[in-house]
Amino acid sequence: MNVLRLTGIASGLDTDQIVKDLMRIERMKVDRFYQQRQTLEWQKEQYREIINKVRVFRDKYFDLLKPETNLTSPTSLKKMTTKVSAADLVSVTATASAILGESTFQVIQSATAARAVSEKVTKESENGNRLSFSDTLEHIFSNRLENANDQIFSEEGQFAFRLNGVEITVNADDTLNTFLQKINNSQAGIQISYSTFSDTFTMVARSTGAGHIETDENGFELFSALGFSGPEEGPIGDGEIHYLGEAGRDAKFRINGFEGSSRTNTFTIDGLTYTILQKVDEEQPVVTVTTETDTEAIYKVLEGFVNDYNELIETINNKINEEYFRSFPPLTEEQKEAMSEKEIELWEEKAKSGLLRRDSALEGMLRNMRTVLYDAVDGMNITQIGIETSRDYRDHGKLVLTNGGADLKQAIAQNPDKVAELFTRRSEISYSATLTAEERAQRYTESGIGARISDILNDNIRTTRDKDGKKGILLERAGIEGDITEFRNFYDDRIKEVNKQIDRLNELFARKEEAYYRQFAAMEKALQQLYVQADYLMVQLQRNSY
């Protein structure tokens, strides 16, 4: 409502200031809602900071895609180390399924890739001018090669051939570089190159293993023209297929006296991954492989878990036990204008303190995690492996490695399988937001500490819905970016309600302010009329006096 306001003309009053003073009380009502909204926004921000920390913790220790630290996976706590008597010949790494102890390994031959090298391409009769990568195939075939065939290309200027069963088509105007790229980029599994230094072509299979580089009749004609030939020994093909160069071969070896083979030089057998590091053409001496539990690696995973768990619960405990300053509400814009930046900073530090104090959802999550760490798994609990809860009440349930971690290392060394079972034991029932109470109870009983904590975290930050349509408890409270809860959650719903109140009060505020101005305008008008009448009477009195 836009009205021209001419104030104070008759009365001489500062009407704007008077109205502003009158509206200050009304403005305080609106400011209280602004402060309430700011408090809710701060609470949501603090909640989301906690949610993000919970998510980082969950993703590090309970993510199937991170088996090295996933405490629901046997891989994380069944780490092995190996010692090899000839580390320059073969490397050996162990997986969780490897058998502890000593074994033997003997290399008979290493795997190689099929390979073909051409003769020198340029002939003396050609004045020694070697090929250029910018030469076209038509130029190469018609001018450079002894076995040139002017009719190699079709009337459309194309030529097709098969290499390792893959059809490749080249054009007469393709450059040598394009020709090489077409072969290298195909699915033939061949790497071909041309050396301007040696004036030769080289083709190598991209993978090792027995077998030749194969081509058809057209391909044999083309590659023969480039200086390639068949194998020096053995078959050269079966009529329709031609072989080029020398065949590749499989790796051959003995493990504990039993012979085996592999198309590659890296292979896994009985949980041990072997890599032959040298080219071997004849039988090598027997190598001893010793497989042991990697106590230090397992310890590092559990030590990291304890430290990160303590950091997480410290963050949450600090928030739910933070002091609340009732006399420090969020500042209004008018209050900020009267304060320095430092004063505002110090004020808001107290205003943001204690906003999540005694939050029931956060307290519930911490309580559930503490219960999990106390509960036994098949009669065993963490105190038996050197992990216990701090006895200092100020630590609010932090974990401690007894004897500086020596007890945990000893437990791992003496019975690594038992330690792994305590954390990584799995239930036949998978986690789901829709499990019944009976299914959840069975899953809890059958699970290790890892799955139990993972379930608690998922109950709080999962993005899937339960049978009541609810997502994770914390997400329902404050939401998370990238999910529908980012805009549909408890705090945002409260903020929307407050915004409605602010809009309603602002509308009433504007109407009341306008009413004040109308009243003052009416007063000014009445005063103006009064002054006119007074002036008239004064004139009349003056006339009568004469």
Q: How far is CA 187 from CA 249, 458, 520, in A?
A: 21, 44, 89
Q: Give the C-alpha separation, 347 to 332, whole Å.
A: 12
Query: Read out DSSP for 454-519?
Result: HHHHHHHH-SS--TTS---HHHHHH--TTSGGGTSSHHHHHHHHHHHHHHHHHHHHHHHHHHHHHH
Q: Is residue 537 part of a domain?
A: no
Backbone torsion region of residue 342, taken as left when φ is above 0, otherwise alpha when ψ lies between -120 and 50, otherwise beta: alpha
Q: Are residues 223 and 304 in the same domain?
A: no
**Within a domain: 529:** no
How many domains would you assign to the chain?
A: 3
Same domain, 414 and 349: yes
In a domain, 26, yes or no: no
Same domain flag for 140 and 88: no
Whole-number pLDDT of residue 26: 72
Question: Under 8 Å CB-to-CB from 400, ≥6 apart: which residues?
Answer: 387, 388, 389, 390
Which of 211, 228, 248 is the C-terminal boundary of a domain? 248
Q: Could you tell me how far CA 131 lies from the centroid of its own chain?
A: 49
**By residue range, what is the domain housing residue 356?**
42-74+297-481
| Res 371: pLDDT | 94
Answer yes or no: is pLDDT of 442 > 50: yes
* CB 99 within 8 Å of CB 122: no
In tens, the pLDDT along 360-380 reads 999 999 999 999 998 999 999
Same domain? For 393 and 448 the reply is yes
Are 178 and 193 members of one domain? yes
Q: Is residue 28 part of a domain?
A: no
492, 476 Cβ separation under 8 angstroms: no
In a domain, 474, yes or no: yes
Residue 11 has pLDDT above 70, yes or no: no
Domain boundary, last residue among 437, 457, 481: 481
Instruction: Please give the pLDDT value at position 145.
Output: 54
Indicate whether 367 and 431 sit together in one domain: yes
Average pLDDT over residues 316-330: 96
pLDDT tier for residue 239 given thresholds of 50, 70 and 90: low
Q: Alpha carbon of 230 to those of 11, 186, 250: distances in Å? A: 115, 22, 20
First to last CA, the chain: 53
Comparing CA positions, the residue from 204, 202, 190, 206 lying closest to residue 226 is 202
pLDDT of residue 101: 94
Specify whether 288 is located in the same domain as 156: no
In a domain, 237, yes or no: yes
515 within domain boundaries = no
Looking at residue 17, what is its pLDDT? Answer: 73
CA separation for the pair 257, 455 (Å, rounded):
47
Picking from 439, 459, 481, the residue at the C-terminal end of a domain is 481
Show Cβ contacts of residue 479 under 8 Å, excluding neighbours closer than 6 positions: 44, 48, 485, 486, 487, 488, 489, 491, 492
pLDDT band at residue 74 using 50, 70 and 90 as cut-offs = confident
Same domain, 201 and 64: no
CB 303 within 8 A of CB 401: yes
Q: Is 81 exposed, middle or buried (0-12, 13-18, 19+ CB in 10 A)?
A: middle
196 and 339 part of one domain: no
What residue type is assigned to position 49 of the chain? E
Looking at residue 324, its pLDDT comes to 96
Taking only the tens place, the pLDDT of each residue in 328-338 is 999 998 899 99
Residue 266 pairs in a beta bridge with 275
Q: Which two tokens stand for residue 21?
A: 């003073």
Residues 212 and 269 in one domain: no
Say how far apart CA 528 and CA 9 lie, in whole Å.
8
Evaluate whether residue 127 is within a structural domain: yes
Are 190 and 262 in the same domain? no
| pLDDT for 497 beyond 80 | yes
On whether both 237 and 259 belong to a single domain, the answer is no
438 vs 152, higher pLDDT:
438
* Interatomic CA distance for residues 60 and 50, integer angstroms: 16
Sheet holding 258-262, edge to edge: 80-84, 287-293, 101-109, 251-255, 258-262
